[in-house]
Amino acid sequence: MSRKAFIMKLFDNCYEEYKKRHDEIWPEMVKMLKEHGVCNYSIYYDQNSNSLFAHLEIGDEEKWNKSAKTQICQKWWDYMKDLMETNADNSPVTINLQEMFFLK
């Protein structure tokens, strides 16, 4: 099992819509994530910085790396691009975090 953590940035006044879209996440997006090895996935919001902290656990690094190439992921990124900082391919701009401590 691998754990990943990263930070993303919401645009101002987009919290409610971001939350709504994730509360209504598409079943096919959930299916794709699970098929690509995601066991747990959490996103937290920091209202002071408008930042999102994401943490996920994956069972297979190779499968996870292929998730970004799926049609549903590309569609999701396109759907979310108006709410957050994105790259040219509409993927979220992320800052990967290095794990410093883990207690099991």
**Average pLDDT for runs of 10 along the chain of length 104:** 96 98 98 96 97 96 94 98 98 97 92
Domain spans in the chain, listed from the N-terminal domain onward: 2-96
The burial class, CB within 10 Å (0-12 / 13-18 / 19+), for 4 is middle
pLDDT at res. 50: 97
Q: What is the pTM of this model?
A: 0.93
In 1-104, DSSP assigns E strands to 2-9, 38-46, 51-58, 95-96
Q: What are phi and psi of 94, to 5 degrees?
A: -125, 145
Q: How is residue 28 written in tokens?
A: 């096919």
Q: How is residue 5 written in tokens?
A: 């953590």
Query: What is the set of active-site residues?
Result: 22
CATH of 2-96, one of 3.30.9.10, 3.40.50.720, 3.40.50.970, 3.30.70.100: 3.30.70.100
